[in-house]
Structure 1
Amino acid sequence: MEIADSTEIINSALDRIVAGYVFPSRAAEVDRALRARLAAGEYHALSGAALCEAVTAHLQEVCPDRHLRLLWQDEPRPPTAPADDGAGRAAFLALMRAENHGIRRSEQLDGNIGYLDVRWMADAGEGARAIGSAMELVARTRALLLDLRKCRGGSPAGSAMWCSYFFPDDEVHLNDVYERSTDSTRQYWTLPYLPAPRYLDRPVYVLTSVTTFSGGEDVAYTLQAHGRAEVVGETTRGGAHPTTHHPVTEHITVTVPTARSVNAVTGTDWEGVGVQPDRAVPAEKALETAHERARGRWG
């Protein structure tokens, strides 16, 4: 049962957005627009999931950032400290363990074509063995289909680990992430050590859909920008900003993008525009299309 009223909820969410959103000027615009709606009584009759949906729509109307959201969860969660990074990381790791570190399926397709269905970008520490095991299974294939059509996000470091398998060493600058709170930039490079063989000198096809988001987009965009993979499928959802989750009530969380990605090749990212496929086909045709192209390249 939601105890806080809509005014309290929106005020709390806006305070977090103004304090943390990666672009302060956009945060100020959001704050003005939603406080005007609040003063006009637009949220007075709303509560629960309906309130979250309305506020999210209005947030993204002013600032079309798909990570900027008010989320409703049916099961109550104790409102812990807003910036409890330890609790957030623990919850993410628990999810990754339950989801096999994002790896749903590995298969050898006809023509000795490898196939991996990846749903999350796992933590680069705990997920390293699982990622390595998946790459070991396709290590001797002649081409690889990396299916990210249902990949919804994950860890930037995990994305960098996945990308590292497709480059020969640790000398490839993948991207940077700028963090507003510290006014600092973290560089992501290919890793010097991996627990399975690198996948080199063979074609890689990344499959995408309108569902592909965040960390999944990171891998698709990075490999495409570096000329290491061909993207086959649909334009992705378009969320490039690493995000912090702030509990507002037991049922409501505001997600605030606090950082931005900068690709080392393009100097920008996929925020708001998505990853554009090299070969555009409906998502349900992407696997068949990529498989045919992979087999064709090898005669």
Structure 2
Amino acid sequence: MTTQTKLAPAPVIDETARLLTEHYVFPETAEQLTGLLQRRLTEGAYDVDDAEELARLVTADLQSVNGDRHLRLKHHATPVPSQKGAANLDAMRRDFDTSLGGAPRVELLDGGVAVLELAPMLFPLEWAAEPLSAALTLASRAQALIVDLRANQGGDPDTVAFVCSHLLDKRTHLNTMHWHGGKRVEQSWSLPHVPGTRFGGNKPLYVLSSNNTFSAAEELAYDLQQLGRAEIVGEPTRGGAHPRDGWTVHPHLEASIPVGRAINPVSGTNWEGVGVQPDIPCTATDALDRAHTLARTQLAG
């Protein structure tokens, strides 16, 4: 057994089902899933002693109806606080402190082309505004820019808008979020002003993607692609467009439940289940060299 806390599957399943009913952005799917979870519990499918194994089994069932990759029972090796979102917040803070605030690489390549890596995620803007502004301002002097999202697992939609604001010239509608219950709709726009210097909306811009690029990182790539601002170079992304919240349902288990649905103002849809499709398909390993060559060619021409 990997945890110190005795595992009782029934309370975990009951609480997960309750949270689905109250919060999942697709109520009809939530009803199907709660029935499935209770049926599988009755059948003994969750009679395991290990929290990590239970997380794997329940996640497979949660994703079996509509393939929503944000919908999962997530295992944590160390106990997590009971407050909503606390497990994710603690892990994010550790990653933030060890990644220079989410901008671990700014480098000037040959030909006046800069590469800016944003990883491992787009951290909450109240943390990330200062390091991201510094990195984006430094890169703004380049003749062309490559934004590397190949190792980015998602993050904060406000941070997406903040980064986009440095890569555009004017205030632009980026995304519209439809929240659970359909009563609240929230638009995301780039900012009219940014700290530091903009890279702007005219110089060549490329975004690197991989099959690990996920969630808010996909939104950043998708928004820039739909606006015609950037070319995506690399692999199709993982395909998770629904923002999620997390609730602790056991000291080592967090129910991750999507609470909203993104609609892009240009495409009228999103990247859920299909991923962001690259304009220049290639392996993730080759993406940087490919984008660098494209940028130098475009500058020379």
| 2:179 is equivalent to residue 179 of structure 1 | yes
Whether 1:72 and 2:107 are equivalent positions in the alignment is: no
Equivalent residues of 2:242, 2:261 under 8 A apart:
yes
SS at match of 1:293: helix
Is 1:54 matched up with 2:51?
no
User: 1:122 maps to what in 2?
Assistant: 123
Q: Give the SS at the match of 1:45.
A: coil
Deviation, 1:207, is 0.2
TM-fit CA distance, 1:287: 0.4
C-alpha separation in 1, matches of 2:262 and 2:105: 29
Give the equivalent residue in structure 2 for 1:231: 232
> Structure 1 residue 128: deviation in Å?
1.5
Query: How many Å separate the matches in 1 of 2:134 and 2:42?
Result: 55
Say whether 1:20 aligns with 2:23: yes
Match of 2:294 in 1: 293
Residue 29 in structure 1 maps to residue 32 in structure 2: yes
- TM-score, normalising length from structure 1? 0.93
Stretches of structure 1 that go unaligned for 5 or more consecutive residues are none
d(CA) in 2 for partners of 1:253, 1:175: 28
Aligned position for 1:99? 99
Matches within 5 A, 1:186-225: 186-200=186-200, 201-225=202-226
Q: Provide the rounded CA distance (Å) in 1 between the counterparts of 2:89 and 2:177.
A: 18
Does the residue aligned with 2:57 lie in a helix, a strand or coil?
helix
Residue 90 (structure 1) shift: 7.3
- Matched residue SS, 1:298: helix
Contact 2:209-2:235 at 8 Å conserved across structures? yes
User: Are residues 93 and 195 of structure 1, via their aligned partners in 2, closer, same or farther at CA, if it must alter by over 3 Å?
Assistant: farther
In 2, the alpha carbon distance for the partners of 1:174 and 1:241 equals 15
SS at structure 1 position matched to 2:273: coil
Deviations 1:4-25 (A, max 9, x none): 4112211111111111000101
Scaled by the length of structure 2, the TM-score of the pair is 0.93
Q: Distance in 2 between matches of 1:182 and 1:86?
A: 26
- Give per-residue Cα distances to partners, 1:41-63, cap 9 Å, x unaligned: 11113531011011101111113
2:9 maps to a residue whose letter is S
Any idea what the Cα deviations from partners look like across 1:136-184, whole Å, max 9, x if unmatched? 21112111100000000110000111111121122x1111111115720
Secondary structure, in 3 states, of the residue corresponding to 2:221? helix
What SS does the corresponding residue of 1:101 show, helix, strand or coil? coil
RMSD, matched Cα: 1.8
Q: Who is 2:272 aligned against? A: 271
Segments ≥4 residues shifted beyond 4 Å: 85-95
Look up the match of 2:164: 163
The 8 Å contact of residues 7 and 51 in structure 2, kept in 1 or not, is answered as no
Q: What is the distance in 1 between the residues matched to 2:255 and 2:291?
A: 38
1:110 equivalent in structure 2 = 110
**Cα pair distance change 1:60/1:86, threshold 3 Å:** closer
Letter in 1 for 2:290: T
Deviation at 1:86, TM superposition (A): 8.1
Residue in 2 aligned with 1:242? Answer: 243
User: Cα offset for 1:122?
Assistant: 2.5
- The DSSP-based 3-state class of the residue aligned with 2:271 is coil
> Can you give the 5+ residue segments of structure 2 that lack an aligned partner in the other structure?
none
Task: Give the count of matched residue pairs.
Answer: 295
